[in-house]
């Protein structure tokens, strides 16, 4: 998974990783949340907006990690 999203397919791959991890575990690990925060921060704002839309659509339970006041703040 890239640290910097350049295309929508990069975001799509991130969504697949999130889904796979949550299928096996109740929580996302810190390293993954921090990596995704880095991608959100370092990528084009359009890619971040696309990411949030895809999370809401495909893994809404993961939004708690990526919204303001989330359960886990980035390092």
pLDDT tens string 7-22 = 999 999 999 999 999 9
Residue 51 has pLDDT above 50, yes or no: yes
pLDDT at site 11: 97
pLDDT at site 70: 57
pLDDT at site 75: 47
Q: Specify the 3-state DSSP secondary structure of 74.
A: coil
The answer to whether the beta carbons of residues 73 and 34 sit under 8 Å apart is: no
pLDDT per residue as tens digits for the range 23-38: 999 999 999 999 999 9
User: Phi/psi class of residue 65: alpha, beta or left (left: φ > 0; alpha: ψ in -120 to 50)?
Assistant: alpha
């Amino acid at each position: 998974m890239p640290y910097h999203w350049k295309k929508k397919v990069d975001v799509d791959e991130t969504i697949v990783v999130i889904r796979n991890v949550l299928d096996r575990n109740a929580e996302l690990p810190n390293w993954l949340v921090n990596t995704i925060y880095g991608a959100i921060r370092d990528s084009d704002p359009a890619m971040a907006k696309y990411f949030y839309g895809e999370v809401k659509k495909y893994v809404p339970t993961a939004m708690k990690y990526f919204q303001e006041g989330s359960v886990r703040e980035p390092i």
